[in-house]
Amino acid sequence: MTEPNTPARNPAAPHTLVFEKDVEIPMDDGAVLKANVFRPAEPGRYPVVMAQGVYGKDVHFADGFKPQWEKLQRLHPGLCQDGSTGRYLRWETVDPERWVPDGYVVIHVDARGSGKSPGYLDPMSPREIQDYRDAIEWAGTQSWSNGKVGLIGISYYAATQWRVAALRPQYLAAIVPWEGRSDHYRDYGYHGGIRSNGFLSSWWPKQVLSNQHGNGDTPYRDRDDGQPTTGPALSATLLAANRSDYPAEMARHGLCDAWHKERTPDLSRIAVPVLSAGNWGGPGNHLRGNIEGYLRAGSAQKWLSMHIGTHYESFYLPRYIALQKQFFDHFLKGLPNGWDRTPPVLLSIRTVDGETRRAEHEFPLARTRWTRFYLHPGNATLDTAAPTQAASAGFQAQQEHLDFTTPPFETTTEITGFIPLRIWVSSSTRDADLFAVLRLFDPDGREIVFDGAHEPTPLTRGWLRASHRKVDERMSMPYRIFHAHDEIQKIEPGTAYPLDLEIWPTSIVIPRGYRLRLTIQGKDFEFEGIKGRLTHTDPADRGGQDFQGRTTVYGGPERASYLTLPIIPAAG
C-alpha cells in the first residue's frame, strides 16, 4: 500500500502566505469574477489549486455550517492547530494555510452571480463552466504561476470539475473531484427517474440564494471587514430578475433531455490525470458519480479512492490531505515521489465498526464472485437457492413494505462493488416507484446504521420508476444497469414486468452470524426518528394515483427475482 499517512513537506522552509482579496478575473464576454488568491510571498512560479462555486468565498466554514464545523473539530482536533489557524477555512474547499507553505497558490472564485461576482446566477449552467475555463486560463498565465492548474473540492466544487475538464482548458493539469456527481440526471436530480427534491428544497435557499450577489439579507458577514459577503445590496426585484429558477427548471425536465445533458460532461473527453474520491456512505449524491467518473474518464492516468464517514470530514483528515498533495506534487510540480507507482484503486473496505484500507488494480474487482440471491416472496427470504415454485407478495405503495432476509452468514463475507437487482413487479395502477434498501443486521436483530455522507444511512439504496424501466444496452454492463430515461413507458395494471434496478455500489465485511435484508417499498426509507435529507416527496412528481396503488413482487422459476452480490473471496 503506497498511500501516505502524513503530509509530505518540501525540504525548504515553509513559504509565507500572502492573501489577495477580491482579485478580478476577466471573462470572455466582458464580465469580471472576484477571487481570493493565497500565494507564497517568496518570488517564484508555483502550481495553482483552484475551486469555483456559489457558496461564497468569504463565508467562513463555521458561519455557514456551524454544526458540521463543530463536528469536524471534534473528529479532527488539530484542524486549527499544527500550522493552521482555520481563519481561511471555507465549506468544501482546501485550507490555504495547509497548502501555501508547501509551495502552492490557492484560488477560490465566486461563480458569476454569487458572492462578490456580479452577473446572472445560473448554477451548473454552461455559462458557469465557460467562466471556470476562463478562470483556469487566467490562473495559468499569472506571473506567480508555473502554468499548471489543479482543481480540488467537494460536492458542487467536484461536479464542476468533471465538466470543465471535459472542455480541456490549456493550463489544466490535474483534477481531484472529491465526492461529486458526474451525471446531472442520474446522480442527483432524478434517482431511477424519481425526482429527488429533499436536498434541493433546502440547498437552493440556504446555500445558493443566501449567497447570491447583491443579497442584502444574507446572514453572512466577512470576518475581515464585517461587511456582507455578497457585495452591495440589490433590490428584491432585481435579485429575482438576476437569477434562474433552478428548482423549477429541474421539475420541468423529468426526462434526461438536452437540459440535463448540457449539465453532464462527456467524460471521455477528460484527458488530464484524475484522482476521484467517493464515499460508500453517499447513496443519492456522493457515490455513483465518482465511480462512473473514474470508469468513463478518457484520462490515461486515473485513480479511484473510496472512503467512509461524512462528506466533509475525510477531505480535511491528515492522511487524505497527504494523498491529495502527493497526487498534485507529482502532476503539478513534477516531483518523483512515487505517485506513478500508486495502484489505481484505493478502497476503504467498510466494517461494522470502521474500515480497513486496501489497494486494488481495477474496479469492479476482477476476482469478484457475482452471486445471485433469490427473492422468495412466499417466506420473505433471500438466499442462493433458486425458487422451485411460483410465489408473490404485495404491499400498499405509501404505507407498507416487503422484507427479504438472508440466513445468517456462515462465514465472514466481503461484498464490494455493484449490486444489480432483477425484480418482477406488477401494480394495480399504470406506474410504480420502487425504493430498494439493502440493510445489515447483527445476530440479535439490531440494524447496523452507518455514518453517511449526509445522514445516517443503511448499507446502500437504489430506486426505479417502472415507467423508466428502459435500459440503455450500449451503456449497461452485466453487473451495472444504465437506464435511458428518455421516454415514459407506462405499465398495464395487473401485468408483471421484469425491472432491472440499479442499487448503488457498496462495500462491507459481513461478520459471521449477521444477516442482509432487502427492503422493497413505494416511498422513501427513513430510520425511525431521523428525517432524511435525500428524499423524493414532490407531490407534483409522486402525488398522482399511479403511485398510490398496490405493488406485487413475484418469484419462481418463470419469474425469478434476484439480487446479485459482488462477493470478494478471502485472501489466500
Domain of 542, CATH number, reads: 2.60.120.260
Burial of residue 204 (CB within 10 Å: 0-12, 13-18, 19+) is middle
Rounded CA separation 408/421 (Å): 21
In this structure, the answer to whether residues 437 and 558 fall within a common structural domain is: yes
Cβ atoms 187, 199 nearer than 8 A? no
**Secondary element (H or E) of residue 349:** strand 345-351
From 374, 375, 344, select the one nearest 273 (Cα to Cα): 344
pLDDT given at position 570: 87
Distance CA 457, CA 320 (A): 23
Give CA separation, 372 vs 369, 383, 429, 458, 479, in Å: 10, 8, 30, 21, 11
Cis check: omega of the bond before 364, within 30 degrees of 0? yes
Q: Could you tell me which residues are beta bridge partners of residue 355? A: 350
Query: Rounded to an integer, what distance in angstroms lies between the CA atom of residue 278 and that of residue 465?
Result: 25
How far apart (Å, rounded) are the C-alpha atoms in residues 121 and 368? Answer: 46
The residue from 266, 289, 318 where one domain ends is 266
Q: What is the CATH number of the domain that holds 35?
A: 3.40.50
Tell me, yes or no, whether 342 lies in a domain: no
Asked if residue 5 belongs to a domain, the reply is: no
27 within some domain: yes
Spatial CA neighbour of 124 closest among 254, 283, 244: 244
CA distance 15 to 104: 9
How many domains does the chain divide into? 2
The string of DSSP codes covering 422-483 is EEEEEESSS--EEEEEEEEE-TTSPBP-EE-SSSEE-SEEEEEEGGG--B-TTT-BTTB--B
Last residue of a domain, one of 247, 266, 285: 266
Q: Provide the pLDDT for residue 532.
A: 86
Question: Is 50 part of a structural domain of the chain?
Answer: yes
pLDDT in tens, the chain (572 residues): 445 444 444 444 688 999 999 999 999 999 999 999 999 999 999 999 999 999 999 999 999 999 999 999 998 888 998 889 999 999 999 999 999 999 999 999 999 999 999 999 999 999 999 999 999 999 999 999 999 999 999 999 999 999 999 999 999 999 999 999 999 999 999 999 999 999 999 999 999 999 999 999 999 999 999 999 999 999 999 999 999 999 999 999 999 999 999 999 999 999 999 999 999 999 999 999 999 999 999 999 999 999 999 888 899 989 999 999 999 999 999 999 999 999 999 999 999 999 999 999 999 999 999 999 999 999 999 999 999 999 999 999 999 999 999 999 999 999 999 999 999 999 999 999 999 999 999 999 999 999 999 889 999 999 999 999 999 999 999 999 999 999 999 999 999 999 999 999 999 999 999 999 999 999 999 998 888 889 999 999 999 999 999 999 999 999 999 999 999 998 75
**Separation between Cα atoms, residue 46 and residue 36, nearest integer Å:** 16
What amino acid occupies position 457?
T
The pTM assigned to this predicted structure is: 0.96
Of the candidates 18, 59, 60, 51, the residue with the CA atom closest to the CA atom of residue 33: 51
CA dihedral 327, 294, 454, 129 (to 10 degrees): 80
Choose the final residue of a domain: 215, 244, 266. Answer: 266
In the block, cell 460536492 appears at 155
Amino acid 413: pLDDT: 98
Task: Tell me: do 433 and 557 sit in the same domain.
Answer: yes
- 278-289: b (≥16 Cβ within 10 Å) or e: bbbbbbbbbbbb
Q: Cβ(151)–Cβ(175) under 8 Å?
A: yes
Answer yes or no: do 402 and 547 share one domain. yes
Residue 159 lies in a domain: yes
In a domain, 325, yes or no: no
Q: List, in order, residues 6 or more apart from 319 with CB less than 8 Å away.
A: 3, 4, 5, 6
Please list the residues that pair with 396 across neighbouring strands: 550
The residue with cell 476577466 is: 26
Parallel, antiparallel, or unpaired for β 381-383 and 369-376?
A: antiparallel
Q: Kindly state whether residues 374 and 262 are assigned to the same domain.
A: no
Task: Please tell me whether residues 258 and 380 are part of one structural domain.
Answer: no
Residues of the domain holding 440: 369-568
Angle at Cα 439 formed by Cα 437 and Cα 440, nearest 5°? Answer: 170
Residue 131 inside a domain? The answer is yes
Residues making up the chain, counted from first to last: 572
Can you say how many angstroms the Cα of residue 332 is from the centroid of all Cα atoms in its chain?
A: 25
Name the residue type at position 535.
Answer: T
Instruction: Give one DSSP letter per residue of 376-428, joined into a string.
Output: ETTTTEEESSPPSS-EEEEEETTT-EEEEEPPPPSS-EEEEEEEEEEEEEEES
Give 348's contacts (C-beta < 8 A, 6+ positions apart). 280, 306, 307, 308, 355, 356, 357, 507
pLDDT value, residue 11: 43
Do the Cβ atoms of 179 and 277 come closer than 8 Å?
A: yes
Q: Is 57 a domain residue?
A: yes
